[in-house]
Structure 1
């Protein structure tokens, strides 16, 4: 889309840019910095000879690259060494420094939306997952009519494997990872759980085991292995058994560094000076994750994949300050549409990059990986698949301009909690009670209640639990439901320009309205009591079966139900499916 009357960066704003032990299955851990992460060439050869490992082939036998996508959970924007963190991340720092850092890279503010957009290349409004996350008790999953990334890669000969956190629904067997394109799956279905026992309680009396090997509970791993290390072991096993002459897609979705805050004791040694206990635990978890990625990279080299691999690293949303994360100096946190909730740590590392050791400041979004990876794999995207992502490989590898000029962060018609938000406040174009956010070129518009809005320096919280957390220096004014920022000039969202540039506000509100016309109904069903793990052998897993469908009620019962439904309809605000047109004002 053209400039359309939008101001350029900084124009007329008067702003300046504001400044446990490892399992034997693990490879030895080295300090990042030399060949094979710490070994010189001769030592490396000796290491491989001693281990009986096959040397890496000098030339790849497939023109299709091996695709390795690593997704961290709840890693804050500041929480990487090259963003100034006190947490040591030598592996991430080295991989990013030798690759391409993505410094204008966006994801979604919470788990399910980011994962769904990665695997479909579509915004939430086009999959029905606009609201919240998929909860373990909901009969909901990523809609089955969406062609997933692994399905498209399988069409062109890729072996596809997922290790780690799914969080895209599982109430039916058809929703499971192995039915959505993955040859193998080893990981958890839910959004969080204990790192050692792999149990998760959604509420009192709703607890179960959450670790799967393909379509069955992996009870054999109920032995206290820390999940970051356990998942890395599985990645190593997959690589050790796969022929590097055949293309592979590995989706590694680590549980770390999501709460609960747990880590093996030895990773705490470097962080005794951090007073805040949550920050200290988080730092230990991130160090363990950094070491795990070191071992994944070493396995790629050892088993002959590395020279023909593309490694993509991404966080799934912003960090949560109450759980040790930091997005400083960005505003907001996980679960919000401020930059701290959606601007992510991301980079690409690959020998196949044309321009290595660079920084990409072009606009990139998590939906872009879908068409980019399919193109790299020499696959085809059907004409009837309407994607929101763009092929950005030339932008990353060669430094060309990004084809992307805007991002719809989201439109959530269910979340309408903004005080005094209204159609009138949106110039008759948009109901500003609706939570929404959009970025067009340098401009970002937010409506509704974007979420907690403070700027939180690292370690600024006490050791009190999240329910006692309240450290806001800036609060949302009760009458405000629209914000406008020039993100290029003001990346920290310090100066709201909505009153100064009403014309820009109107243009962006119209853009929201245009997007909303393409939205599908929201999928957010109520809890299903049949989801209780106690009814499923103590395991979280598919519970819905065809025979569970309700029998057709008798005519008399149907008439009674219809009458009751009409009585309740006036009081009902949301249901299984809900779509809110831009011009509708909600009470």
Structure 2
């Protein structure tokens, strides 16, 4: 079958803060993940896959639009790293998401889980290409929680309406999976795009009792095993409906892990919120029986930005011609084991351009707002242990030129350069939280009892 003839259902599973070393097929010996490992054993496991940001909102906005965060105004959010409840900014309604492209191509579309691209109505998923939405609009630590009593109640949404306030987080994964199963069954005769954005393993860690009892890695392991259970349920659903060979499943994480509370980014350096490899290099698995050969390890440089063009091409969608994006078509990589079309990848945090990878080399030029000069042979030194900056002046010169080109187009807060190809973030006047605390409301959980955040 020619590449142009392939038109699968698509299930994108995006975890929250799941680190490179947190699943079995990436080296974890403490988190049991037979379902995720099955995807890798029977599909393609990527070892040089990156998210476009080491934190949540810019990572998710970038994945939906195929653009580095600064291009869509997502470099920061009124001085914050991520979006908070009731902020008047979010994903601009002029942006065209992959959900919109697939929707226009005849796909039924649904997001189940975390959105985190703005909680005002015009920013919500159903106004960005999703026919249906069910989930928490932002992080699970943004509700009423011990020492965070000033936060509004955590809302569980269906569409744009509130289903429940302060839901029991221990049952959220099961509720998400049931929503996915219903959607798949209702659309077994249609092409569909299902985006499952897990709450786990973002803090606070709440998992169902059955997972806690089985875990050998405490609450963190229980949350990972809950994710794995969801994968096994969805695979079973596809098989029972005869859809497995018609469905591309992608498994990944929005950024690297915190590296504490039981998590791991091993063997990578750094963690969530940093531009070390542990902040942005994450697990990614492609699974599509009959189309992706089993047991492959892909070492090619690819990233979440590439989902946009690749899924649009697979779904016979039309890319917007009136705006630039940063996505590349990686169909030949995942379907044929071919070479990547991507030479470079840029590492941004809070609008600061801190590093660039070009094929097998990575150059850091800033950390924590201060200049640094660090060069790593990243294909051989993924742990970023040996700085070879002084030994390779020509490589440094080449990478610095790439950084200058990126600054000109996308900007760089560190050097004060404003990009020439950036678009504005969405804004609304008089924003308000989705819910206000009411002392008389019979909340399911009046106050989440764990102090973990982040």
Q: TM-score, normalised by structure 2?
A: 0.86
Deviation string, structure 1 residues 269-322 (Cα, Å, up to 9, x no partner): 3445xxxxxx52100111111011100111112223222000000111111123
Match of 1:237 in 2: 182
Distance in 2 between the 1:507 and 1:163 partners? Answer: 43
Q: 1:220 Cα deviation (Å)?
A: 9.0
Distance in 2 between the 1:501 and 1:407 partners? Answer: 19
CA contact (8 A) 2:68 2:305 kept: yes
CA contact (8 A) 1:435 1:446 kept: no
1:211 to 156, 161, 165: 156
Match of 2:55 in 1: 110
Match of 2:231 in 1: 293
Match of 2:267 in 1: 329
2:409 to 515, 518, 526: 518
Q: 1:534 Cα deviation (Å)?
A: 2.2
1:502 to 393, 404, 408: 393
CA contact (8 A) 2:144 2:150 kept: no
Distance in 1 between the 2:61 and 2:87 partners? Answer: 16
Q: Label 1:271 to 1:203 Cα distance change in 2 as closer, same or farther (>3 A).
A: closer
CA contact (8 A) 1:442 1:488 kept: yes
CA contact (8 A) 2:302 2:342 kept: yes
Deviation string, structure 1 residues 522-567 (Cα, Å, up to 9, x no partner): 85999988448328998xxxxxxxxxxxxxxxxxxxxxxxxxxxxx
CA contact (8 A) 2:155 2:166 kept: no
Q: TM-score, normalised by structure 1?
A: 0.67
Match of 1:470 in 2: none
Tell me which structure has the larger Cα radius of gyration. Answer: 1
CA contact (8 A) 1:200 1:207 kept: no
Distance in 2 between the 1:330 and 1:361 partners? Answer: 15
Which sections of structure 2, spanning at least 5 residues, go unmatched? 411-421, 442-454
Match of 1:183 in 2: 131
CA contact (8 A) 1:406 1:440 kept: yes
Are residue 489 (structure 1) and residue 380 (structure 2) matched?
Answer: yes
Secondary structure of 2:396's counterpart equals helix
Are residue 82 (structure 1) and residue 20 (structure 2) matched?
Answer: no
User: Bigger relative contact order, structure 1 or 2, given CA contacts below 8 A and separation 6+?
Assistant: 2
Secondary structure of 1:219's counterpart equals strand
Distance in 1 between the 2:358 and 2:227 partners? Answer: 34
Match of 2:105 in 1: 156
Match of 1:68 in 2: 11
Are residue 140 (structure 1) and residue 42 (structure 2) matched?
Answer: no
CA contact (8 A) 1:141 1:169 kept: yes
Distance in 1 between the 2:109 and 2:405 partners? Answer: 36
User: Which range is displaced more, 395-404 or 528-537?
Assistant: 528-537
Match of 1:361 in 2: 299
Distance in 2 between the 1:440 and 1:526 partners? Answer: 39
**Residues 269-288 of structure 1 correspond to what in structure 2 (within 5 A)?**
269-272=213-216, 279-288=217-226
Q: Label 1:444 to 1:351 Cα distance change in 2 as closer, same or farther (>3 A).
A: same
Q: Label 1:522 to 1:246 Cα distance change in 2 as closer, same or farther (>3 A).
A: closer
Deviation string, structure 1 residues 43-94 (Cα, Å, up to 9, x no partner): xxxxxxxxxxxxxxxxxxx963101100011111111111221211000001
CA contact (8 A) 2:153 2:165 kept: no
